[in-house]
């Protein structure tokens, strides 16, 4: 059924204005004052912002990691995302050396297709580069619309790739029109520091942070940036946690390198002291890169405000405290890395960013949605409010207050890293391609209704017909 969203304040990355939005067949068909149309469902948005749906470019749903599997899958994870105002996710598809890429991609389709309640796509991990892999990449782009490749510079003997692999991935990506993403930490040095710590009997969660100091992130970020410059390729640094790394990105950008950076809510709000919580609670706050000394937060906010960092990913990678995080009770290296963040990414950035005057309302939209759509080949179908775009929309009450808690969140895990934190601003209704997924704070979506998104090549615009899904038929 057609819908009209009335009297809301539409906010895009560049404009703020009051108008009605007419939606038909999943698309925005008209934007204007007092649209008159018969046979439509009227949705009142008086006193509310209408934002483009959030795009979370960094999730790990149902991902095997550290001897266990992330707790939130494509169903619970995307339901939680929708509650938070996110209408698309791009998840990391893991690959294994020597195995066909198509097999890994099929595994990810099987995990997601009957479960996701919002639209989704995949980044592809590159674990090795050789003739066989290079032969498969054009097809990955053409058939799957996967136009971003992820290289890990850390997690030695697990995911870590060497510099030759990174460099050759950058060259291939330039040629094929893909964006290379890096987890930038120096895995070799971390390996040495962690072994050294364990030998000294330093087993508590805080040593996770102390064995991955900012220098190892800054060094790897700078190295990746230099290699991207040498290859004249394009690079996206995920989960930037500290000033050292943000500065390396800014420096490379000042030289004209095509380099982009993402940070995450946890680095903007939490700090290294959380890892020192008693009774092993510090394990809840184990991310890689780790939480940093608090002063780094100002540097990260500043980088977002000045555009040196451009996006915010949740890095959703959730593990229960009981039964998963506690695998590392006697050895911090066995604590599965990551946390539950998909639900609160959007509202934390609004509450801590917009309402505290650190970023503007339009920057908020850019950072949570538009920039990711542009960098990852979804724009202008996703990431903005314009005629012809998908009607992925959030009706957001900017004054509503709530306290974040595991008791009330929708993620499948037994804790929330922001437990007890009060945030202002809340998604009340959320539409994916014109259908309610959240209606007046109630979930009304359907698992499997989310569509797989094929993405345009790096730097190219998505056309409406490109994005018709061939994996699922209507």
Whole-number minimum distance, CB 2 to ligand URP, in Å?
41
Whole-number minimum distance, CB 234 to ligand URP, in Å?
20
Beta bridge partners of 33: none
Which entry of Zn ion, ligand URP, none binds 287, CB below 5 to 8 A by partner kind?
Answer: ligand URP
Whole-number minimum distance, CB 93 to ligand URP, in Å?
13
Pick between residue 219 and residue 392 the one whose CB is nearest to ligand URP.
Answer: 219
Total binding residues toward Zn ion, as defined by CB under 5 A: 3
Which entry of Zn ion, ligand URP, none binds 59, CB below 5 to 8 A by partner kind?
Answer: none
DSSP, collapsed to helix, strand or coil, labels residue 401 as: strand
Which of 78, 77, 106 has the alpha carbon at shortest distance from 93? 106
* Residues whose CB falls within 8 Å of the CB of residue 38, separated by 6 or more in sequence, listed in order: none
Which entry of Zn ion, ligand URP, none binds 375, CB below 5 to 8 A by partner kind?
Answer: none
| Contact string (CB under 5 A) for Zn ion, positions 166-185, x = contact | -----------------x--
Q: What is the 3-state secondary structure (H, E, C) of 47-93?
A: CCEEEECEEEEEECCCCEECCEECCCCCCHHHHHHHHHCEEEEEEEE
Alpha helices in 202-295 (DSSP H): 206-210, 214-230, 243-254, 265-269
**Segment contacting Zn ion (CB under 5 A): 123-131, 223-231, 307-315, 428-436?**
307-315
Kindly state whether residue 3 participates in binding Zn ion, applying the rule CB under 5 A.
no
Q: Is 67 exposed, middle or buried (0-12, 13-18, 19+ CB in 10 A)?
A: exposed
Whole-number minimum distance, CB 274 to Zn ion, in Å?
18
Kindly state whether residue 229 participates in binding Zn ion, applying the rule CB under 5 A.
no
Number of continuous H segments (helices) and E segments (strands) in the chain: 13, 19
Pick between residue 234 and residue 429 the one whose CB is nearest to Zn ion.
Answer: 234
Specify whether the CB–CB gap between 246 and 231 falls below 8 A: no
Q: What is the 3-state secondary structure (H, E, C) of 83-144?
A: HHCEEEEEEEECCCCCCCHHHHHHHHHHHHCCCCCCEEEEEEECCCCCHHHHHHHHHHHHHH
Is the bond into 466 cis (omega within 30 degrees of 0)? no
Which entry of ligand URP, Zn ion, none binds 337, CB below 5 to 8 A by partner kind?
Answer: ligand URP
Pick between residue 220 and residue 299 the one whose CB is nearest to Zn ion.
Answer: 220
Which entry of Zn ion, ligand URP, none binds 258, CB below 5 to 8 A by partner kind?
Answer: Zn ion
Is the bond into 380 cis (omega within 30 degrees of 0)? yes
Q: Which of 62, 315, 344, 392 forms a contact with Zn ion (CB under 5 A)?
A: 315
Tokens describing residue 360: 């503007």
Pick between residue 168 and residue 183 the one whose CB is nearest to ligand URP.
Answer: 183
Whole-number minimum distance, CB 29 to ligand URP, in Å?
39
d(CA 410, CA 432): 18
Kindly state whether residue 258 participates in binding Zn ion, applying the rule CB under 5 A.
yes
Which entry of Zn ion, ligand URP, none binds 248, CB below 5 to 8 A by partner kind?
Answer: none
Pick between residue 3 and residue 58 the one whose CB is nearest to ligand URP.
Answer: 58
Q: Are strands 86-93 and 179-183 parallel, antiparallel or unpaired?
A: unpaired
Pick between residue 287 and residue 415 the one whose CB is nearest to ligand URP.
Answer: 287
Pick between residue 258 and residue 281 the one whose CB is nearest to Zn ion.
Answer: 258
> Tokens 């339009």 label which residue?
362
Whole-number minimum distance, CB 188 to ligand URP, in Å?
16
Specify whether the CB–CB gap between 377 and 460 falls below 8 A: yes
Whole-number minimum distance, CB 319 to ligand URP, in Å?
9
**Segment contacting Zn ion (CB under 5 A): 131-139, 187-195, 312-320, 423-431?**
312-320
Chain residues in the site for ligand URP (CB under 6 A): 60, 183, 239, 287-288, 315, 317, 337-338
Whole-number minimum distance, CB 148 to Zn ion, in Å?
13
d(CA 343, CA 147): 25
C-alpha pair distances (Å), 314 with each of 59, 86, 181, 348, 349? 7, 11, 15, 11, 11
Is the bond into 23 cis (omega within 30 degrees of 0)? no
Pick between residue 287 and residue 301 the one whose CB is nearest to Zn ion.
Answer: 287
Name the residues that contact Zn ion, by CB under 5 A: 183, 258, 315
């Amino acid at each position: 059924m057609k819908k009209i969203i009335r009297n809301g304040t539409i906010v895009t990355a560049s404009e703020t204005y009051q108008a009605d939005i007419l939606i038909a067949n999943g698309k925005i068909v008209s934007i204007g004052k007092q649209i008159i149309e018969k046979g439509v469902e009227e949705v009142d948005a008086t006193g509310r912002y209408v934002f483009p749906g959030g795009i979370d470019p960094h999730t790990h749903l149902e991902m095997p990691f550290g001897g266990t599997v992330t707790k939130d899958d494509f169903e619970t994870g995307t339901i939680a995302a929708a509650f938070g105002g996110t209408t698309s996710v791009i998840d990391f598809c893991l690959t294994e050396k020597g195995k066909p890429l198509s097999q890994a991609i099929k595994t990810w389709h099987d995990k997601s297709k009957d479960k996701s309640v919002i639209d989704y796509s995949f980044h592809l991990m590159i674990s090795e580069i050789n003739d066989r892999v290079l032969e498969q990449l054009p097809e990955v782009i053409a058939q799957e619309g996967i136009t971003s490749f992820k290289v890990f510079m850390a997690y030695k003997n697990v995911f870590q790739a060497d510099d030759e692999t990174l460099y050759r991935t950058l060259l291939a990506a330039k040629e094929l029109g893909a964006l290379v993403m890096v987890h930038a930490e120096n895995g070799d040095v971390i390996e040495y520091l962690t072994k050294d710590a364990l030998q000294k009997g330093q087993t508590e969660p805080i040593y996770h942070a102390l064995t991955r100091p900012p220098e190892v992130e800054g060094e790897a970020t700078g190295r990746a940036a230099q290699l991207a410059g040498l290859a004249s390729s394009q690079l996206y640094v995920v989960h930037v946690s500290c000033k050292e790394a943000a500065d390396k990105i800014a420096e490379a950008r000042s030289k004209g390198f095509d380099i982009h950076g993402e940070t995450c809510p946890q680095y903007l709000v939490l700090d290294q002291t959380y890892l020192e919580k008693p009774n092993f609670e510090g394990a809840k706050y184990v991310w890689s890169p780790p939480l940093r000394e608090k002063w780094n937060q100002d540097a990260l906010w500043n980088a977002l405000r000045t555009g040196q960092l451009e996006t915010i990913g949740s890095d959703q990678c959730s593990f229960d405290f009981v039964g998963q995080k506690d695998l590392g009770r006697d050895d911090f290296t066995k604590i599965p890395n990551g946390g539950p963040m998909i639900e609160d990414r959007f509202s934390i950035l609004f509450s801590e960013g917009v309402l505290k005057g650190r970023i503007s309302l339009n920057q908020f939209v850019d950072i949570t949605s538009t920039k990711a759509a542009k960098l990852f080949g979804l724009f202008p179908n996703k990431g903005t409010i314009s005629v012809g775009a998908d009607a992925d929309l959030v009706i957001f009450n900017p004054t509503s207050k709530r306290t974040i808690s595991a008791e009330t969140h929708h993620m499948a895990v037994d804790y929330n890293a922001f437990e007890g934190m009060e945030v202002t601003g809340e998604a009340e209704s959320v539409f994916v391609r014109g259908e309610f997924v959240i209606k007046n704070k109630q979930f009304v979506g359907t698992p499997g209704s989310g569509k797989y998104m094929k993405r345009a090549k790096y730097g190219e615009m998505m056309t409406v017909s490109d994005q018709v899904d061939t994996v699922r038929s209507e």
